Amino acid sequence: MLNIALPKGRLGDKVYDRLSRIGYTCEELYKDSRKLIFENPACGVRYFLVKPSDVAIYVFHGAADIGIVGKDILEEEHPDVYELYDLGFGACRMCVAGPKDFVEDRTRPLRVATKFEHTAKQYYLTQNRNIEVIKLNGSIEIAPLLGLSDVIVDIVETGTTLRENGLDVLEVIAPISARLIANKAAYRFKYDEIRLLQERLKEPEKEIKSTEEHS
């Protein structure tokens, strides 16, 4: 049985959709339920639904063999796991954002609100800019609106949240997408199963559909 940590929410929905198309179906998974563990012995798969920021923790400790996680979290936490494959979706950007007319006061440290403390510190270190980090856990866009920070470092996907709160992208730090990760021991012991899943993920969507049509 392959144990897979799936991030709950937008990314997890996309990931499950892709995995089910390549043969790792679990019928009961997305039914209206509060269950967090689902398995389909016929496909040799067991899914855990966890918070996106916890996927790498489950994989690192071996509670899950593999998981799918955003590159943003890998960059922030540097977990000791194998990063196997860029799924190419869940694409977004790590950005500095702020008021459209933002003018930086270089006489004092820049106040940066973010969930991504390490990423923000690293970025501004490369810019030789002193900052004061204000660590938040969500709804980061509110911080500059209330004067809590000058700017934010956050993920921008569609740009809707920024737009609807009168903010703009000021700098792009890095592109982000979903990555397949594996526990280091599980990668040895379940090498064949993990490689098979990875190879199937790489197959173009069209070929998979035509295989389904013929089966």
Q: Taking CB under 6 A as the rule, does residue 169 contact ligand PRP?
A: no
Segment interacting with ligand PRP (CB under 6 A) among 59-67, 157-165, 176-184, 197-205: 157-165
Name which position in 155, 169, 170, 196 contacts ligand PRP (CB under 6 A): 155
Q: Binding string to ligand PRP for residues 115 to 154, with x set by CB under 6 A, is what?
A: -----------------------xxxx------------x
Name which position in 19, 112, 156, 197 contacts ligand PRP (CB under 6 A): 156
Name which position in 60, 159, 196, 198 contacts ligand PRP (CB under 6 A): 159
How far lies 189's CA from each of 1, 65, 107, 183, 192, in Å? 12, 10, 56, 10, 8
- Select 54 or 141, whichever has its Cβ closest to ligand PRP: 141
Provide, rounded to whole angstroms, the least separation between the CB of residue 38 and ligand PRP: 23
Q: Which two tokens stand for residue 34?
A: 């509060």
